[in-house]
């Protein structure tokens, strides 16, 4: 069973990785990815992350299920925060465990690419100079990142 949490609170990547492998003896590889809030060269005071309660959990679970169908994973943890997050603070955690490293690396990368375009979260900027911040625009690069998973990827839920 994957661990999926959508929460306001911070998380500890090492604790989550340890929890994923505790008691397991066939896990040979754990990949931990942490996404952090950038200051964008001092321009940002914070990001405000809005989410769709209920759907966020369900959509992350669907993306995780696709990863589990595609790679032989021994465990997955995804934590995504919402609310106000300052530069340097953590936003998202993906941990994947497998018998071998390739599956763990690829699944973690797949999960992040899909979370960015399918998980219902939206970032709004708070400017350091106090001026009104804008909603962050979706990047074409994020859609393009999905393309590399397409040839044999499970279809997106659309």
For residue 133, what are its two tokens? 């911040």
Return the number of the residue (76 or 115) whose C-beta is nearest other proteins. 115
CB atoms within 10 A of CB 129: 7
Least distance (Å) from other proteins to the CB of residue 134? 9
Interface residues with other proteins (CB under 8 A)? 35, 49-52, 54-55, 58-59, 80, 91-92, 112, 115-124, 135-138, 156-158
- Distance between the two ends of the chain, CA-based, in angstroms? 24
Return the number of the residue (16 or 74) whose C-beta is nearest other proteins. 16
Least distance (Å) from other proteins to the CB of residue 115? 5
Least distance (Å) from other proteins to the CB of residue 42? 21
Phi/psi for 94 (5° steps) reads -125, 125
Return the number of the residue (65 or 157) whose C-beta is nearest other proteins. 157
Q: Distance between CA 64 and CA 37 in Å, rounded? A: 23
Report the candidate in 8, 11, 86 with the shortest Cα–Cα distance to residue 47. 86
Least distance (Å) from other proteins to the CB of residue 118? 7
Return the number of the residue (70 or 118) whose C-beta is nearest other proteins. 118
Coil vs helix vs strand at 108: helix
């Amino acid at each position: 069973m994957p661990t999926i949490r959508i929460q306001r609170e911070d998380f500890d990547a090492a604790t989550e990785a340890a929890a994923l492998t505790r008691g397991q003896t066939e896990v040979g590889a754990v990949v931990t990815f942490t996404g952090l809030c950038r200051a964008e060269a001092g321009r940002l005071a914070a990001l405000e992350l809005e989410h769709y309660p209920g759907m966020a959990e369900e959509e992350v679970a669907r993306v995780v299920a696709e990863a589990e169908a595609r790679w032989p994973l021994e465990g997955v943890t995804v934590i995504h925060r919402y609310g106000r997050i300052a530069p340097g603070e953590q936003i998202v955690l993906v941990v994947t465990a497998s018998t071998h490293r390739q599956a763990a690396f690829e699944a973690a990368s797949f999960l992040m690419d899909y979370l960015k375009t399918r998980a219902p979260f939206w970032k709004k900027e708070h400017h350091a100079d106090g001026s009104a911040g804008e909603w962050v625009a979706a990047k074409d690069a994020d859609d393009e990142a999905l393309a590399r998973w397409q040839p044999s990827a499970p279809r997106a839920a659309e």
